[in-house]
Amino acid sequence: MGCNNHTMDLQLAHKVVLITGGAKGIGAAIARSAVREGAIAVIVDRDAPAAEQLQSELCDAGGKCHVVAAELTVAEDCSRAIQESVRITKRLDALINNAGVNDRVGLEDGSPAQFVESIQRNLLHYYSMAHHALPFLKESHGCIVNIGSKTAITGQGGTSGYVASKGAILALTREWAAELLPYGIRVNAVVPAEVMTPLYRQWLDSFPNPDEKLRNIVSKIPLGKRMTSADEIAAMVVFLISSQAGHITGQHIFVDGGYVHLDRALT
What's the 3-state SS for 85-135? HHHHHCCCCEEEECCCCCCCCCCCCCCHHHHHHHHHHHHHHHHHHHHHHHH
Specify burial of residue 199 (Cβ count, 10 A radius: 0-12, 13-18, 19+): middle
Strand partners, 67: 43
- Is the torsion defined by CA of 80, 82, 85, 89 positive or negative? negative
Distances (CA, A) of 38 to 11, 90, 176, 182: 8, 17, 27, 28
Candidate list 126, 162, 200, 259, residue with the active-site label: 162
127 is catalytic: no
Residue pair 63/35 in contact (Cβ under 8 Å)? The answer is yes
- 48-55: list long-range contacts, CB under 8 Å, 24+ apart: 50/23, 50/24, 51/22, 51/23, 53/23, 54/22, 54/23, 54/24, 54/28
Angle, alpha carbons 257-172-233 (nearest 5°) = 25
Q: Which residues are catalytic?
A: 162
